[in-house]
Structure 1
Amino acid sequence: MTGTNVETVKCACEDCVCVVPTEKAVSRHGKAFCCDECAEGHPHHAGCDYAGCTCHG
C-alpha cells in the first residue's frame, strides 16, 4: 500500500477503547470521538456499540 496515509485517533471518551480513522471521527468541542453517543457524553448511558468496548459514560 504505497501512497496511503491513514491516521487514527483514540476516542476522547475516557472509558472508550476505540480507535477510529480521523476522517470518520465525530468531532465535538475540538475532540475526536468514535460515535455520537461518546461525543454527547452518553446521555442515555448507552454504549458505543463497538464490539469489545464497554463504555457507557
Structure 2
Amino acid sequence: MSVNVEMVKCACTDCVCVVSTDNAVKADGRIFCGENCANHHQQSTGCDHAGCPCHG
C-alpha cells in the first residue's frame, strides 16, 4: 500500500500554513510555505501569508 501526501504543514515552527508539496519551497530536506520560512527569516520576520502569526 502507498500513500500520496499532497498537503503538509510548513516546517517553520511558528508558521501555521499548510502548503501543497508541489508548490512548496524545499530546503534542508524540509518543506516550507515560502522563501522567508525556508531561509529561517534572514531577510524579515513572518511568512507574509494573510492570517499567519509566524514571526520566524
Q: TM bucket by the smaller chain?
A: 0.7 to 0.9
CA RMSD of aligned residues (A): 1.5
In the alignment, the residues of structure 1 paired with residue 5 and residue 27 of structure 2 have an alpha-carbon distance, to the nearest angstrom, of 21
Matched, 1:29 2:44: no
Runs of 4+ off more than 3 Å? none
Long gaps (5+) in structure 1: none
Larger radius of gyration: 1
TM-score, structure 2 normalization: 0.84
**Number of matched pairs:** 53
What percent of counterpart residues are identical? 60
Normalized per residue, the structure richer in helix is: 1
TM-score, structure 1 normalization: 0.83
Long gaps (5+) in structure 2: none
